[in-house]
Amino acid sequence: MNLTPKEIVTYLDRYVISQKDAKRTIALALRTRYRRMQLSQELQNEIMPKNILMIGSTGIGKTEISRRLAKMMKVPFIKVEASKYTEVGFVGRDVESMIRDLVVNAISIVKAEQEEANKSKIENYVLNKIVEKLLPPLPESASESKKEDYHKLLSSMEDKVNSGEMDNKIIELSIDKIHIEFNDTNLPPEMAKVQESFSKIFTTMNNEDNKKEESVKDAKELLKLEALSKLLDMTTIHNEALKRTEDGGIIFIDEIDKSAISAKSQGRNDPSKEGVQRDLLPIVEGSSVTTKYGVVNTDHILFIAAGAFHLTKPSDLIPELQGRFPLRVELESLTEETLYKILTQTENSLLKQYEALLSVEGLKVTFEDEAIKAIAKLAHRANEITEDIGARRLHTVLEKVLEHISFEADEHNGEEFIISSELVHEKLDTIVENDDLSRYIL
């Protein structure tokens, strides 16, 4: 969370080409959260997050920015689609379930941190349990020389277990019953608690013998779960997760335009759409949402909404919701040059992915620079004459270029295949220029 705006933008530049305004706006919003946390409690309560509305066509980086943020930030973060939700009273997910999803995400983050902090204790617990089964303890009456030999043997056995040498050895384990949490966030908290109570009752009633034979490799995983349930204080984890959700949670609402209704639309009074917007209002504005782990106040959760707004405009959202997203960012459409940079400059680009996939078959594929430019040009052209689907067009174009090579790859083990601009034009020119073909094939 302590990254500067420049560091956040630099990280995003590795995966998303162009869209500087969107990256800067999001970087500043994230930095503002860090700055707020350094202030007095009184001032913290006054400073509200500036929610962001990202506007732009499909395939230009809105979702990719959110996906990369999720990997980068060690804060509770979820991405949801507005089209998944319905107004209360209709069949479907209610908007409060996104807060419950965020809490579950926060718990998994805090739990992972606690697991890392207790790593050595967990490893020792697992090792001791397995070694105890492989090498039963000596009786108290054993002589000193036998005890000395036993300790040497014990040390040797620990090394063998750690190195994986004993992984195939079968041992008999007696595992404590582990309570499994139900995280169906679509259930109301009261029902979730009832479900949890029934689960505990059935676990207690089930008195069957817990002894089972497992390989040492599988036993390590089972004992790790047992160690976690004994060493981690779940109440403390839940409390910390609730605090992080309130102070640092981020919710990315994609497809927000699908809940807007155009003024020209006949279904202006569609309750399931306007109802979703009305239900979103209190959550985005700030309210208390009950979860099975406790009450979450949404005042300081940052909301980032995104939509293509092809059939509607941001002004088609209800005015109250528009006012809750004061920062507007319009993302640029992708040019031929941008598509070329996406193929050549992003980390783990599509070209690198295809090269790696075909190397599995022993086939080395090399793309000439002119071929990459031709792919970018034809993808851009296809976007112009049919629907503009942005960078996603590169997937269909590349798949068409490499289809025959990929299909016969197993017959060309050890060979090198160079993708030239001639090959690209041969495969794509006819399809791209023929409007009907490009609609159905690309």
What is the domain-level CATH number for residue 416?
1.10.8.60
Query: Could you give the C-alpha distances from 21 to 34, 246, 259, 319, 411, in angstroms and in order?
Result: 20, 27, 25, 24, 48
Alpha helices in 286-420 (DSSP H): 319-323, 336-345, 350-359, 369-385, 392-407
At residue 264, does pLDDT exceed 70?
Answer: no
How many structural domains are present in the chain?
3
Residues 260 and 355 grouped into a single domain: no
Residue 208: what pLDDT? 52
In a domain, 439, yes or no: no
Boundary (domain end) residue, out of 281, 310, 330: 330
Residue whose C-alpha is closest to residue 80's, from 64, 101, 103: 101
Boundary (domain end) residue, out of 297, 330, 363: 330
Residue 107: what pLDDT? 94
The label of the residue with tokens 């933008």 reads 9
CA angle 188, 190, 196 (to 5 degrees): 105
Residues 170 and 255 grouped into a single domain: no
89 against 257, higher pLDDT:
257
Judge contact between 392 and 58, C-beta under 8 A.
Answer: yes
In a domain, 309, yes or no: yes
Mean pLDDT to the nearest integer, 54-61? 88
φ and ψ of 362, to 5 deg: 80, 20
Residue 195: what pLDDT? 59
Least confident of 21-30, 192-201, 345-354, 355-364: 192-201
- The residues, any chain, with a CB within 8 Å of residue 86's CB and separated by 6 or more, are 92, 93, 94, 272, 275, 276
In a domain, 411, yes or no: yes
The confidence band for 367, taking pLDDT boundaries of 50, 70 and 90, is very high
Residues 104 and 248 grouped into a single domain: yes
The label of the residue with tokens 């029934």 reads 198
The confidence band for 202, taking pLDDT boundaries of 50, 70 and 90, is low
* Boundaries of domain holding 76: 5-108+244-330
At residue 212, does pLDDT exceed 60?
Answer: yes
Q: What is the pTM of this model?
A: 0.80
Judge contact between 173 and 211, C-beta under 8 A.
Answer: yes
The confidence band for 209, taking pLDDT boundaries of 50, 70 and 90, is low
Residues 141 and 235 grouped into a single domain: yes
DSSP code, position 135:
S
Q: Length of the chain in residues, anyone?
A: 442
Least confident of 132-136, 245-249, 379-383, 407-411: 132-136
In a domain, 436, yes or no: no
Residues 132 and 227 grouped into a single domain: yes
Residue 183: what pLDDT? 60
Residues 233 and 251 grouped into a single domain: no
Q: pLDDT digit string (tens) for 60-119?
A: 888 888 888 877 878 899 999 888 887 665 656 788 899 999 999 999 999 999 989 988
Other C-beta atoms closer than 10 Å to the C-beta of 390 total 23
Least confident of 172-181, 319-328, 358-367: 172-181
Rounded CA gap, 34 and 74, in Å? Answer: 12
Residues 99 and 11 grouped into a single domain: yes
186 against 277, higher pLDDT:
277
Boundary (domain end) residue, out of 280, 313, 330: 330
Residues 117 and 235 grouped into a single domain: yes
In a domain, 223, yes or no: yes
Residues 216 and 118 grouped into a single domain: yes
At residue 343, does pLDDT exceed 90?
Answer: yes
Provide the β-strand partners of residue 372: none
Residues 300 and 346 grouped into a single domain: no
Sign of CA dihedral 186, 188, 194, 200: positive
> Residue 84 sits in a domain of what CATH number?
3.40.50.300
In a domain, 433, yes or no: no
Residues 281 and 304 grouped into a single domain: yes
The label of the residue with tokens 């004992």 reads 223
361 against 167, higher pLDDT:
361
Q: pLDDT digit string (tens) for 133-189?
A: 887 777 777 777 887 777 888 888 888 888 888 888 888 777 766 555 656 666 666
Mean pLDDT (the chain) is 84
Residue 2: what pLDDT? 79
- The token duo for 131 is 């070694």
In a domain, 80, yes or no: yes
Least confident of 30-39, 165-174, 180-189, 239-248: 180-189
Residues 130 and 275 grouped into a single domain: no
In a domain, 230, yes or no: yes
Q: Which residues of 125-143 are buried (b: 16+ CB within 10 A; e: fewer)?
A: bbbebbbebeeeeeeeeee
Judge contact between 402 and 367, C-beta under 8 A.
Answer: no
DSSP code, position 311:
S
Cα-Cα-Cα-Cα torsion 435, 436, 440, 442, nearest 10 degrees, comes to -20
Query: Could you give the C-alpha distances from 24 to 6, 65, 76, 93, 220, in angstroms and in order?
Result: 8, 12, 21, 33, 45
Residue 40 half-sphere exposure toward CB, CA atoms < 13 A: 2
